Structure 1
Amino acid sequence: MSEATASFADHAAIAVGDVVPPLERTITLTDMVAYAGATWDWHKLHYDTAYVAEKKLPGPIVDGQVFGALLVEMLQDWLGPQSFVRELEFTFRNLVFAGETLRCAGTVTEVGEDRISVSMSVVVVAEDGSDGRAAAAPASAVVLLGTPDGPGAPA
């Protein structure tokens, strides 16, 4: 698919091997504090720079659940509102610190009548722009197509 976001009509054209448009995001300390507030995860490792320095860490640690949120965002940005991530699995591989940039990537591995399966990964972007250490891999999702998400969606 050539466009970054597919419309509902494009779902029929999805094929095994299609590459999901990647999502890149630099996770700032502000992002991490907002996420902590939204999830009620106030462990000092996620926001307190003095605490993490005392522990000899290079910076506050990004909550690993952010990886899942970014993977779902990548899929729904691509597939549009007529999609619903039914299953999501990923394995944590390495710590990620405030200020680092993450790249989410995926490839369609299976296409069904009303769903697709996607193999994905989350990596830290190296200083030269290449993929650095894995943050979450392997990762996979099953996405229902033609199923709206969000408020007002059928149960």
Structure 2
Amino acid sequence: MQKQILIVISIIGLVVGRDINGAGLALIKQQEGWRANYYYDQIGQKTIGYGHCCVWHPCDQLHPPLTEQQGSDLLRADLGEFQNCIQNAAPGLNDNQFAACTSFAFNMGCGAFTGSHILSNIRAKNFNAAANAFNEYTSMGGRVIAGLVNRRKAEAQLFRS
């Protein structure tokens, strides 16, 4: 299992060409939290590890409990598509801007990022407004979610640094 994940990571790394930095990875791990066994996230999706959603990424080959290393490998594999999304939508970001946007896309989806005020401000080269725009995405189902407020604040801080 672990060997398969590492192979996937290697392939994704070749396709993407850019990886999230350590600060971004740490932010995602902190915000997602670690779970060695399956759980259901806030919207009822079967999840494991550091936010690995079994709806989008099948979990058939996983045999919990996972080790933290397996969870980290799984997260790196999952991040490939979001790193690619950010690189394609907003090339030229510095490492922390790229990491903050990757965290946002991992949490909200690539479509949410590409339709966001974050991206429209990046494209307008208004990076202060882009950082402020993270705070617009703190609701789920019409309710402000404390965890999203905290995550968006951390992403905005990373984007600015």
| Higher RCO by CA contacts (8 Å cutoff, separation 6 or greater) | 1
Q: Provide the TM-score with structure 2 as the length reference.
A: 0.27
Q: Output the TM-score relative to the length of structure 1.
A: 0.28
Larger radius of gyration: 1
- Whichever structure has more strand as a proportion of its residues is 1
Q: Which has the higher helix share?
A: 2
